[in-house]
Amino acid sequence: MLDNDNQIKALLDRAKLEADKLYKETYAAARRDEEQITETAVSSMIILVLTRSALDHIATGLQAKLGIKNDFSPYFPISKTASAFQKKLDKDFPGLETKYPAFVDYIRSIQPFNKNLGSEAIEELNTLCNTAKHQRLLDISAFRERLSEEENPIQYHRLGRKRLNDVIRMSIEMATMVWLKSNPL
């Protein structure tokens, strides 16, 4: 069990609550009112940020479990290559792989470089969360496949309602699984 389990649970519970509210209320209103589309984008961003924050709280709990004291709060490792993941792991979580190899195997399995359902969820969460926080709110009016980085370096996303629902649902489920897998530590 991590020292900050109550905080992680609160973040995930709130993300689930906000997602349920988004599905039931906001989308219905957005269909009737164009101005509500912006509110839906803000609500979506809040859910993604809560979910990403839960992962970062898990990272903080892992450092505390390992007895690592830093002046910074770590980010949960999300990497596009195996070597970048290993570098983050070694730098921010020394000893984690030796002490908890099954947990490290799990978080490695959901990294974007593995190209599976879990890795898709974590990559979408990370990219959409960063886009919504730092560049622009998500455009939910339509869905368009992401362009490659060469074609669109800022990775502008336009998401349809169903696709956004899927991303939010998968992200919350993936973050919950990471948290549950960290509990026996």
Q: What is the pLDDT of residues 57-91, one digit of tens each?
A: 999 999 999 999 888 889 999 999 999 999 999 99
What pLDDT is attached to residue 152? 43
CA dist., res. 2 & res. 184, Å (int): 9
Reported confidence tier of residue 105, pLDDT bands at 50, 70, 90: very high
CA dist., res. 10 & res. 44, Å (int): 18
Nearest to 171 by CA among 59, 15, 5: 15
User: Cβ(59)–Cβ(76) under 8 Å?
Assistant: yes
Q: What is the mean pLDDT of the chain?
A: 82
* 106 pLDDT more than 50: yes
The arithmetic mean of pLDDT across residues 130-138, rounded, is: 78
Task: Using alpha carbons, list the distances in angstroms from residue 14 to 46, 109, 160.
Answer: 10, 26, 23
Nearest to 10 by CA among 175, 185, 131: 175
What pLDDT is attached to residue 34? 62
For residue 158, the cross-strand partners are: 139
Reported confidence tier of residue 156, pLDDT bands at 50, 70, 90: very low
Could you identify the residue written with the tokens 């336009």?
Answer: 158
What pLDDT is attached to residue 48? 92
User: Cβ(92)–Cβ(63) under 8 Å?
Assistant: yes
Q: Which of 9-18, 59-68, 85-94, 110-119 has the lowest mean pLDDT?
A: 110-119
Nearest to 51 by CA among 22, 86, 85: 22
